Chain A
Amino acid sequence: MENLENNDVLLKVEHLSQFFKMGRMELKAVNDVSFDIKKGEVFGLVGESGCGKTTTGRSIIKLYDITSGNVYFKGTRICAGIRSYKDSIKKKKLETKIKIQELNKNKPEGYKEEIAKLNEELHKHISEQREEIKKANFDEKNCNNEYRDEQIKLVEEKYLPLLERDENNKELKKEYENELRKAKNSKLVTQIQMIFQDPIASLDPRMTVKEIIAEGLIIQGEKNKQIIEEKVFKMLELVGLVREHASRYPHEFSGGQRQRIGVARSIIMQPELIIADEPVSALDVSIQAQVINLLNDLRHSLGLSILFIAHDLSVVKYFSDRIGVMYYGNMVELAPSDELFLNPLHPYTRSLLSAIPLPDPAYEKRRQRITYNPLKEHDYSVDKPSLREIKPGHFVHCNEKEFQEYLKIIK
């Protein structure tokens, strides 16, 4: 486990890659993406459909097993991929093989010792990497342990002294057992919750609203019906619905209200991070505004951090503090939202910004859309690109030559 320097960082994504097998081919849905989300921040993720925004969100919440990279949540590694280690072993093996072949061919002085040295190095490297793989697998499985132990400890600290004082208090004992069971069931990952895109498809039509919202609590081990009911009512009121709605079914609600149920379901677990996967794109404009206002209020009152995935740039701009732009699995630009809209550097970002429709007919008539063609724009045959910091907090995916050009532009 590593300690992060900045305590404010809630979620840290390091070199996240997610590949899917498609027959013989491999689809690189997310390829080496890194970013972090600070506490109380809204991080927007934009890009066209199929660029891997949703996959990123789903990988973070462990709906997929990630291929390589690390995800840290509150300093604990919750996802770890092993592909990069395996690749590094393969690469090292190949390198050594070539070197040994060359040595065998040329036979310079003392080449046998050289070969032995190379082999030793290789073995060392392999064992190192295997250790890493073991660690990653362990973390992946047991990331919740520490958190669980902590929770159990907290419960015990709270109740044990009370129980010692008053041994015959049955109610207190019952409460203690209840809390302890919950703590044993608790998982760190439940601190991350998701709001799905389609409010119709993401709610079970055969469950009442109360059952939908309470499901998480019940899975966690909460058995006290009164507490469940109270919490559900509280959540309903928090998202702007009424108590009477609890006994209804999802089909009886309008689109905006359904999305509110989805929000209530995710905040009942008292999460610290919410992954909102296009929560407003399926809604009417007026209802969109309601849901965005709701999320904004909740964010301030509950101190939530939000990973906001969307393709509507005006909404993302309005709602997020920082924005990451993705293109075909790569993060091409990452900057504070005002900075991004003021100084878009990467040509893809510029083309994206030029496509935003605004409610201004005169502007619309002269708007020129920039098209992005990666083949024309970049020449990466020699110098491979990477994410570089151009200004404090402003990162662009580029190579050295482009980096210099961007620096000129920004000055």
Chain B
Amino acid sequence: MNKKLEVKNLKISFKTMNGKVQAVRDISFDLYEGDTLAIVGESGSGKSVTSKAILGILAGNSIIEGGEIIYDGKNLLNIPEDEFHKIRGDKIAMIFQDPLSSLNPIMRIGRQLTEAMLLKGKARQRESRITFNNHLRLLKENMFEAIAKDDESKKANITLKCNNFDKFEYKHLALEGSFNKAFESCENAILDIENIAFKLEKKAADDLSYTLRKIKKEALQSIHTYVVDSRKDELVNLVATISSGAKDVKKNKENFKPLVDSLNGIKDILVEAKNYDKPNFFSMGYYLTFSKEPLPNMPVVELNKFLRTYLDDNFMLDFINDAKLGLINSASKALEYKKEFVSKFDYYKEEFLKENLVKEETDKLLKEIKELVNNSIDRLETIKDSIAYTMSQSLKADIDQYYSAISKNKKEQARFNGQTIKYEKMVKGGRTPEWKVAPLSLIDLVYLQETIVDQIERLKDHYVELISKFDSRDFDSESISTIDFLKENASGVVNKITPQMARNKAITLMEEVGISEPRRRYYQYPFEFSGGMRQRIVIAIALAANPDILICDEPTTALDVTIQAQILELINKLKAQRKLAIIFITHDLGVVANMADRIAVMYAGKIVEYGTSEDIFYDPRHPYTWALLSSMPDLDTNDKLEAIPGTPPNMIYPPKGDAFAERNKYALKIDFELEPPMFEISETHSAATWLLHENAPKIKPPKIVTERIERMKKVNAEYLKKSSEKGEK
């Protein structure tokens, strides 16, 4: 699985009138492609703050005290706002908790839905053009180095190849675009016909004329060389009969038979057309651009074979081979620098751990490291090496922190000395002063130095691993994926979004999230929607931009069960379709069981238990998780619920030791003294509670939880038995 997002040691606090509220205290987690991470906890535990930090929309009084959020080779905590604009909403989208405040009250729903699509469409076009050009240029340069060196004729040959690739790629996209349009309208027409035929038979069709007009349009649009071709005259004739059928229905509701018949005729043709073989447009694009002869007239399967061999013989195999050499060149170049970095690690470590660092020296060293790391990055990689990309930035931040700490410590010491002298003077003078000397709080310089070294060490470990893996790398498949990457970006250039397309897309999205009569609703204002409907609009807006990462901040808390189930299913479906990575924030554990692959239970700004959903539900270890589980009733609960007594602690003064100790009836003495570390239970499961220490007393979870787990296991075992029996039969 690809790692999409990495949060490391994140610490966030808020400046308030009464003091500094520590909202998030040192949390780390990873997020993978096609994977859902659920963050569970009470309100005020820092769930929403974490998600807002990822999206870069923290409130103005927030202070980021440390940590990193790494996405696509960038540290989201210190990139400029301009750059964040490209990520926010486009790559990382969020479904907000309160649908009321996340919609603009004076804009029609339709405008709000399409606004982002239209804006992002333009930006994305520009962006993919730039990426495509840059990547192709880099590839070309590397090919020069690997193959041509000083041979001008070879160089010219490679340049020609690259230009050709660029050229026919465009042709291919135009072909595929027109095909997709026809295919899509064919599919839509089939769906619409099924719908309206059903409604006609039940006599419940209300917007008949609109739907029929739509079906007509769609059916005619689906006429295309590779969609409906052989039976196109028949289709046109059938479409013509629709109008008269509709008139009959208008006159007499019972007389729907002819209309349904002609609709079914259209449907048969379209269904047949849908199952045709799809030609290979990529190779067809090449053929049409460079071959002087017209397309040979043969069935699609043979045509595909012919075009494929034509492309491979004339261009592709050669190009892939060259690309592979270019990739190897670039990778091995980077490898040398990596090796150099690893060999120099001990020297750096020594330098940074010296007592009393000197600014000029460290600046010089930093510059050197920066250059080395920059060189050691293989720019042709399609998946960016996040650690290497963000390394120099975070290193600089750490070093800056060290120097600022030196000056701060000086000031603190001066303040302390001054106050003590004054205090002692007053005491000597026989007065008892009403104030006390605030204790000395110096920043630990050695610790800061260690964090600097940690940064470098992390990269070193990463590089050592990469170097050891280098020999087993499969450059054949890598070169193919590089070309796929180029193809994908090129398609981004051609995919222009017009307002009409955006509207259609918005209406299908509205239908997808379960809004009835989307065409009428499209022109309404948010106040005309009920709470559940508004939430669906918010979800549709978040999905409109087709993001990489979706953050759901209690998306279904205000909705009722059926709609909740629909929306969760929708999110799950989209996750599977689009390989979304999802962060799901909620306090409802029932919802989480359905959604999450992994669960992080948060309390007072810390992750107290972390594991797969099976771990958390069948084998919970932290008392807070027990409390959460036992405070929610399920369908078999009859006993009194065990509510968690008290309220979460005031995070201006975070409690000493375990933050949950005061509300925890299983608390040990040590819980009030010392903060528990994360104890690892299994590879995927860990929890921060002293109960897991080897010297701790063995305490069982509350009855309500153990009973439920046993019951669930029994039911599941029975189900497995039954299904296996069925399988045998």
Q: Give me the interface of A with B, judged by CB distance under 8 Å.
A: 47-50, 254-255, 281-282, 284-290, 292-293, 296, 311-315, 317-319, 341, 351-352, 355-367, 369, 375
Flag whether B637 is at the interface (Cβ < 8 A). yes
- Given A285-B628, A363-B716: A296 in contact with B591 (beta carbons within 8 A): no
Report the separation of the CA atoms of residues A395 and B6 in the bound assembly, to the nearest whole angstrom.
55
Report the separation of the CA atoms of residues A254 and B588 in the bound assembly, to the nearest whole angstrom.
18
Chain A residues, CB < 8 A from B442: none
**Residues of chain B at interface, number, CB under 8 A:** 51
Flag whether B220 is at the interface (Cβ < 8 A). no
Tell me the smallest distance from the CB of A309 to a CB of chain B, in Å.
11
Residue of B202, B559, B561, B638 with most partner-chain A CB within 10 A: B561
Report the separation of the CA atoms of residues A365 and B715 in the bound assembly, to the nearest whole angstrom.
13
- Given A48-B563, A352-B562, A360-B617: A314 in contact with B712 (beta carbons within 8 A): no
Chain B residues, CB < 8 A from A367: 594
Q: Pick the contact of A286: B559, B614, B618, B644 (CB < 8 A).
A: B644
Residues 24-44 of B at the A interface (beta carbon under 8 Å): 42-43
Report the separation of the CA atoms of residues A351 and B589 in the bound assembly, to the nearest whole angstrom.
21
Judged by DSSP, the binding face of A is helix
- Given A293-B643, A364-B594: A314 in contact with B530 (beta carbons within 8 A): no
Cβ of B593 and Cβ of A285 under 8 Å apart? no
Chain B residues, CB < 8 A from A315: 633
Cβ of A49 and Cβ of B559 under 8 Å apart? yes
Flag whether B82 is at the interface (Cβ < 8 A). no
Cβ of B202 and Cβ of A375 under 8 Å apart? yes
Cβ of B560 and Cβ of A360 under 8 Å apart? no
Chain A residues, CB < 8 A from B613: 361
Q: Which residue of A lies closest to B627 (CB)?
A: A286
- Given A289-B644, A314-B632, A363-B716: A358 in contact with B42 (beta carbons within 8 A): no
Flag whether B207 is at the interface (Cβ < 8 A). no
Cβ of B640 and Cβ of A311 under 8 Å apart? no
Flag whether B57 is at the interface (Cβ < 8 A). no
Chain B residues, CB < 8 A from A281: 558
Chain A residues, CB < 8 A from B59: none
20 A-B pairs in the complex with CB atoms less than 8 angstroms apart? A281-B558, A284-B43, A285-B628, A289-B632, A290-B644, A293-B643, A314-B632, A355-B564, A357-B561, A358-B590, A358-B634, A358-B635, A359-B590, A359-B632, A359-B634, A363-B593, A363-B716, A364-B593, A364-B594, A369-B569
Cβ of A289 and Cβ of B643 under 8 Å apart? yes
Report the separation of the CA atoms of residues A362 and B42 in the bound assembly, to the nearest whole angstrom.
25
Chain B residues, CB < 8 A from A48: 532, 560-563
Q: Which residue of A lies closest to B561 (CB)?
A: A355
Cβ of B643 and Cβ of A286 under 8 Å apart? yes
Q: Which residue of B lies closest to A381 (CB)?
A: B203
Tell me the smallest distance from the CB of A362 to a CB of chain B, in Å.
5
Report the separation of the CA atoms of residues A318 and B704 in the bound assembly, to the nearest whole angstrom.
14
Q: Pick the contact of A359: B42, B627, B629 (CB < 8 A).
A: B629
Cβ of B588 and Cβ of A49 under 8 Å apart? no
Tell me the smallest distance from the CB of B18 to a CB of chain A, in Å.
13
Chain A residues, CB < 8 A from B635: 313-314, 317, 341, 356, 358
Tell me the smallest distance from the CB of B600 to a CB of chain A, in Å.
15
Judged by DSSP, the binding face of B is helix
- Given A48-B562, A293-B640, A314-B635: A360 in contact with B202 (beta carbons within 8 A): no
Tell me the smallest distance from the CB of B603 to a CB of chain A, in Å.
11
Tell me the smallest distance from the CB of A161 to a CB of chain B, in Å.
46
Q: Pick the contact of B632: A285, A296, A365 (CB < 8 A).
A: A285
Cβ of A314 and Cβ of B633 under 8 Å apart? yes
Q: What does the 1/0 interface line of B559-585 toward A look like (CB < 8 Å)?
A: 111111100110000000000000000
Cβ of A361 and Cβ of B587 under 8 Å apart? no
Report the separation of the CA atoms of residues A355 and B560 in the bound assembly, to the nearest whole angstrom.
10
Chain B residues, CB < 8 A from A362: 614, 712, 716, 719
Flag whether B642 is at the interface (Cβ < 8 A). yes
Residue of B590, B629, B640 with most partner-chain A CB within 10 A: B590
Chain A residues, CB < 8 A from B643: 286-287, 289-290, 293
Q: Which residue of B lies closest to A365 (CB)?
A: B594
Report the separation of the CA atoms of residues A312 and B594 in the bound assembly, to the nearest whole angstrom.
16
- Given A356-B635, A362-B712, A375-B204: A312 in contact with B561 (beta carbons within 8 A): yes
Report the separation of the CA atoms of residues A352 and B561 in the bound assembly, to the nearest whole angstrom.
7
Chain A residues, CB < 8 A from B719: 362, 366
Q: When A and B form their complex, which 10 residue pairs have the shortest distance between CB atoms, in order from nearest? A: A311-B560, A318-B633, A355-B565, A289-B631, A357-B590, A289-B643, A290-B643, A364-B594, A286-B644, A289-B641
Flag whether B531 is at the interface (Cβ < 8 A). yes
- Given A289-B641, A311-B561, A359-B632: A50 in contact with B42 (beta carbons within 8 A): no
Q: Identify 13 new A-B residue pairs, CB closer than 8 A, beyond the known A49-B560, A314-B590, A361-B618.
A: A49-B532, A50-B530, A254-B647, A284-B42, A311-B560, A315-B633, A318-B638, A341-B635, A352-B562, A355-B561, A363-B593, A366-B719, A375-B202
Chain A residues, CB < 8 A from B716: 360, 362-363
Chain B residues, CB < 8 A from A366: 719
Report the separation of the CA atoms of residues A174 and B373 in the bound assembly, to the nearest whole angstrom.
91
Report the separation of the CA atoms of residues A276 and B258 in the bound assembly, to the nearest whole angstrom.
54
Report the separation of the CA atoms of residues A286 and B532 in the bound assembly, to the nearest whole angstrom.
24
Tell me the smallest distance from the CB of B48 to a CB of chain A, in Å.
13
Q: Which residue of A lies closest to B716 (CB)?
A: A362
Q: Which residue of A lies closest to B40 (CB)?
A: A285
Chain B residues, CB < 8 A from A311: 560-561
Cβ of B532 and Cβ of A356 under 8 Å apart? no
Report the separation of the CA atoms of residues A195 and B166 in the bound assembly, to the nearest whole angstrom.
68
Report the separation of the CA atoms of residues A365 and B614 in the bound assembly, to the nearest whole angstrom.
11
Report the separation of the CA atoms of residues A50 and B635 in the bound assembly, to the nearest whole angstrom.
24
Residue of A290, A364, A366 with most partner-chain B CB within 10 A: A364
Chain B residues, CB < 8 A from A282: 558
Chain B residues, CB < 8 A from A293: 640-641, 643
- Given A361-B613, A363-B715, A364-B594: A288 in contact with B631 (beta carbons within 8 A): yes
Residue of B43, B565, B708 with most partner-chain A CB within 10 A: B565
Report the separation of the CA atoms of residues A363 and B718 in the bound assembly, to the nearest whole angstrom.
11
Cβ of A49 and Cβ of B563 under 8 Å apart? yes
Cβ of A359 and Cβ of B593 under 8 Å apart? yes
Q: Which residue of A lies closest to B204 (CB)?
A: A375
Residues 150-207 of B at the A interface (beta carbon under 8 Å): 199, 202, 204
Report the separation of the CA atoms of residues A62 and B634 in the bound assembly, to the nearest whole angstrom.
34
Report the separation of the CA atoms of residues A314 and B708 in the bound assembly, to the nearest whole angstrom.
14
- Given A48-B562, A284-B587: A357 in contact with B593 (beta carbons within 8 A): yes
Cβ of B561 and Cβ of A356 under 8 Å apart? yes
Residues 607-647 of B at the A interface (beta carbon under 8 Å): 613-614, 617-618, 627-629, 631-635, 637-638, 640-644, 647
Q: What does the 1/0 interface line of B702-729 toward A look like (CB < 8 Å)?
A: 0000001000100110010000000000
Tell me the smallest distance from the CB of A376 to a CB of chain B, in Å.
8
Q: Which residue of B lies closest to A278 (CB)?
A: B560
Tell me the smallest distance from the CB of A351 to a CB of chain B, in Å.
7
Report the separation of the CA atoms of residues A296 and B637 in the bound assembly, to the nearest whole angstrom.
14
Chain A residues, CB < 8 A from B614: 361-362
Cβ of B632 and Cβ of A355 under 8 Å apart? no
